[in-house]
Structure 1
Amino acid sequence: MSLHYPFSHPPAAGALQQVADGVFWLRMPLPFQLDHINLWLLRDGEGWMIVDTGFPDDEVQATWQTILAGLNGPVTRLVVTHFHPDHLGLASWLQAETGAALWMTTGEFLTAHAVWHEVGGHGARFMVEQFRQHGLDAEHLAKFEKRGSGYRKAVPALPEHYHRLKAGDCLTVDGRRWDILIGYGHAPEHMALYCPELDVLISGDMLLPRISTNISVFAATPDADALRWYLTSLTEMSDRIPEKTLVLPSHGLPFTGVQPRVAALHAHHAERLQALEESCHEVPKSAAELLEVLFNRTLDTHQTMFAMGEAIAHLNYLEQAGRLARIEDAGGVIRYSRVQS
């Protein structure tokens, strides 16, 4: 079974497109190479529930104001899948505009605050030291030091209160049950929502149709096996979700075909892992030296940040699987060597 896209085009800017009974799709711009995010509005009795917020800028806020003015009822709940700026960035502003309560997982809420305040191993200075240990050159490190906290610049304010959601919980929306599914690897406690009655999955960033989700290791958890966590989460999702389910991703078009997409992602990462392992066969290499193996293109500063995190995630996977050995030189730089069978 291949992927099927029941909607060939996204909604126009500021427009709502119904994708299932009571479920509406809207799209907002992003100021990155990945230039859009999909957001979702769910009818809930006389009111509405929003899933994810968009990136904070004047255009997005103006579009939201137009949409909110056209709703025939109040927004009563704001659900955020995870802490990244394009998902949580406008939560405080939307709460002020609507009075809606925020719902998210504890892992995402607290991580947002840790990253914003640069505590607990989160923040630019910790990231710079992590990347130095993994062999990134002085020029790139200086750019990251000068850039500082990109998260605080992207997220002007954070909510101080929330309703906690966790694995096994469910939300009742317009009389229908939406199960809370938790996935790991992309974010600490990423939430997806699945409605068995509608056979609809709001997948957030955990399952995207055409691009692979960024899986990074962060300075606060340097030995995290984030890629294995992510692949395990995908397998669990594939085992639970029927193949005819309509998947509503944060980026790309809605699609059906959970199982073939999950299989393709497993195959993609298996190929990348094999390429990294082979690249460390003769000479030990650092994550920075292996970027060109994973990403065969020129990377800007923003992309290098994600690329380094992803390279470290793949190398942690290989080391913890016994396929690579970790070597630290006298200067504290970490490199990896293939384990001979």
Structure 2
Amino acid sequence: MSMDGLEQEVTERVKPLLTYPLGEPPVAGEAREIAPGVHWVRMPLPFALQWINLWLIEDGDGWTIVDTGVALEQSREYWRKIFDETLKGKPVTRVICTHMHPDHMGLAGWICRKFNATLWMSRLEYITGRMLVADTGREAPEEGVRFYRAAGWDEDALDSYKIRFGGFGKAVSKIPDAYRRMSDGDVIEIGGRPWRVITGNGHCPEHACLWQEEQKLFISGDQVLPRISSNVSVFPTEPDGDPLADWIASCQKLLNVMPNDVLVLPSHNEPFIGLHERLTNLIEGHEKALARVLQRLQQEPKRAVDLFIALFARKIGPELLGMATGEAIAHTNCLIGRGLARAVKDEQGVIRYEAV
């Protein structure tokens, strides 16, 4: 399942300061030019979040693709149509993945092998993706079972976790065994224009965004979305992590670095103008969520699963339980990091959070 599957469940109220100048999105299997040499591609997803935006940039004697969609035969068919109708006989020479989630990296290996293209990613995203794919076929680790039991999961939910564990690799074609590293501040020439790499954290380890200053374009991936808030979760591999602090700091970094008049090209929803307004809204939204969680902890100690009502607009079903739990713990860990809460584990291994 996509790491972005909960995003539509944490929609923020966005002030009417954002504008959407490009109108209706392209249909699947078509590429629409939105700036000289830059094309918008849209692919369906088999998740609660139904669509992803991908970007195709004319690059001299070839093409650069930014993000690829999930490894499904339907997506491959759409790409084949685009290759036939849009590439003008020129090959794909580079595949850039903003991060390692399957809707972004899923077909990267397939496209790279098809054209003998180079995969470009940040180091932590590449390594994490390889690590998660390596879990395919493994039994669920005891650390994971303990983590979700501590969060308040019952035995049925734990059994479901054991059955589903290792599914990441099923949505990802074989990842290339070599890649080109992208780091914060790097400048990549694509189509004769410089694109600056700006990294962020919280939704994933080292998300790479791309900024083309002359054309006023900002490929934001999942780091900034106009209508939904990216899932920010704690996972069993780093149970004491504080990704929400990283996320808020990354939003503030973009506020400091980026101008407001860029056309933001997000991975989900439509391209928009109003970057600073959206970043401010995202920061304020999480601060309000932290305040709601803290208020409930001040009433009485709570398990992670008891905090869903403070974070999400509707009841969380089994299909979203893992991401909802991860997001709830992200909020409690952030409060712990700020010295406002603590975690207390009982004899059964269940953790309850209480205000300090």
TM-score of the superposed pair, with normalisation by structure 2: 0.91
Residue-by-residue CA offset, 1:237-272 (whole Å, 9 max, x unaligned): 111111110000000000011111011111111111
SS in structure 1 at match of 2:203: coil
Identify the residue that residue 74 of structure 1 maps to in structure 2: 91
Distance 2:47 2:165 in 1: 18
Identify the residue that residue 299 of structure 1 maps to in structure 2: 316
Identify the residue that residue 59 of structure 2 maps to in structure 1: 44
Query: How large is the Cα RMSD of the aligned pairs?
Result: 1.7
- Runs (5+) with no aligned partner, structure 1: none
Distance 1:23 1:156, change over 3 A: closer
Residue type at the aligned position of 1:51: V
Distance 1:188 1:126 in 2: 20
Deviation at 1:92, TM superposition (A): 1.2
Deviation at 1:122, TM superposition (A): 11
Residue type at the aligned position of 2:164: R
For the 8 Å contact 1:178–1:194, the answer to whether it is kept is yes
- Residue 27 (structure 1) aligned to one of 29, 39, 42: 42
SS in structure 1 at match of 2:299: coil
Residue type at the aligned position of 1:54: G
Residue type at the aligned position of 1:66: K
For the 8 Å contact 1:124–1:149, the answer to whether it is kept is no
Distance 2:233 2:63 in 1: 34
SS in structure 2 at match of 1:313: helix
SS in structure 1 at match of 2:298: coil
Identify the residue that residue 75 of structure 2 maps to in structure 1: 60
Alignment of 1:317 with 2:334, yes or no, is yes
Deviation at 1:124, TM superposition (A): 6.2
Distance 1:332 1:236 in 2: 38
Distance 1:184 1:122, change over 3 A: farther
SS in structure 1 at match of 2:110: helix
Distance 1:167 1:5 in 2: 28
For the 8 Å contact 2:241–2:333, the answer to whether it is kept is yes
Distance 1:163 1:122 in 2: 32
Deviation at 1:148, TM superposition (A): 2.1
Identify the residue that residue 7 of structure 1 maps to in structure 2: 22
- Residue 283 (structure 1) aligned to one of 300, 322, 332: 300
Residue type at the aligned position of 2:81: T
Deviation at 1:100, TM superposition (A): 1.0
For 1:1-341, what aligned pairs fall within 5 Å after superposition? Answer: 2-70=17-85, 71-72=87-88, 73-118=90-135, 126-339=143-356
Deviates more, 1:223-232 or 1:13-22: 13-22
For the 8 Å contact 2:120–2:179, the answer to whether it is kept is yes
Residue-by-residue CA offset, 1:171-205 (whole Å, 9 max, x unaligned): 10111110111100011111000111111100000
Residue type at the aligned position of 2:54: L
Distance 2:268 2:22 in 1: 14
Distance 2:142 2:112 in 1: 31
Residue-by-residue CA offset, 1:296-335 (whole Å, 9 max, x unaligned): 3233333111111111111100111111122111122111
SS in structure 2 at match of 1:40: strand
Distance 1:133 1:159 in 2: 37
For the 8 Å contact 1:118–1:124, the answer to whether it is kept is no
Residue type at the aligned position of 1:158: I
SS in structure 2 at match of 1:281: helix
For the 8 Å contact 1:37–1:86, the answer to whether it is kept is yes
Deviation at 1:155, TM superposition (A): 1.7
Distance 1:301 1:132 in 2: 15
For the 8 Å contact 1:40–1:51, the answer to whether it is kept is yes
Tell me which stretches of 4 or more aligned residues in structure 1 moved more than 6 Å: 121-124
SS in structure 2 at match of 1:168: coil
Distance 1:25 1:90 in 2: 17
Residue type at the aligned position of 1:65: R
For the 8 Å contact 2:202–2:246, the answer to whether it is kept is yes
Kindly tell me the number of residue pairs found equivalent between the two proteins.
Answer: 338
Deviation at 1:156, TM superposition (A): 3.9
Deviates more, 1:218-227 or 1:81-90: 218-227
Distance 1:290 1:233 in 2: 25
Residue type at the aligned position of 2:243: A
SS in structure 1 at match of 2:195: strand
Distance 1:289 1:157 in 2: 39
Distance 1:338 1:30 in 2: 40
Deviates more, 1:293-302 or 1:7-16: 293-302
TM-score of the superposed pair, with normalisation by structure 1: 0.95
Distance 1:260 1:124 in 2: 42
